[in-house]
Amino acid sequence: MENQSLRPLLEPWFHSIANPHQAQEQALSKLIGGYRKTQYGQEFGADKVSSINDFQRAFPVVTYADLKPHIEKVMQGDFSTLLPEPPTWRRRLPVGRGGCLIMWSEAEGMTF
């Protein structure tokens, strides 16, 4: 007997395996929708991105060092620099010297 309670959770995953190109386009569309609301996305013209090729042309490959100024702004409370909305959950973990800040945004389903 199949466990029906897991079906709603697994259905999108099965769909993405069956249709990977469509799943990638949907994921990009959702991400770009969020980027349009951020300072980072506005900096690179997220409002003009409508395809994978547009995204690759607009957004450069970056390193942590490139993102560090934006991350520091987020850690100081300016979430709009990288996040489309304030995180719904955040915790500082005692890792290393400065700790590790973990944030979760429900609407975007993203961890930062």
- What's the rounded Cα separation, in Å, for the pair 112 and 101? 8
Query: Per-residue pLDDT tens for 78-97?
Result: 989 988 888 776 666 666 66
Across the chain, which distance is largest between two alpha carbons, in Å?
52
Domain ranges across the chain: 9-61, 63-112
**pLDDT for res 6:** 83
Instruction: With a cut of 70, list the residues of the chain below it in pLDDT.
Output: 1-3, 89-101, 103-112
80 by Cβ neighbours in 10 Å (0-12 / 13-18 / 19+) ranks as middle
- What's the rounded Cα separation, in Å, for the pair 48 and 110? 23
- What's the rounded Cα separation, in Å, for the pair 112 and 106? 12
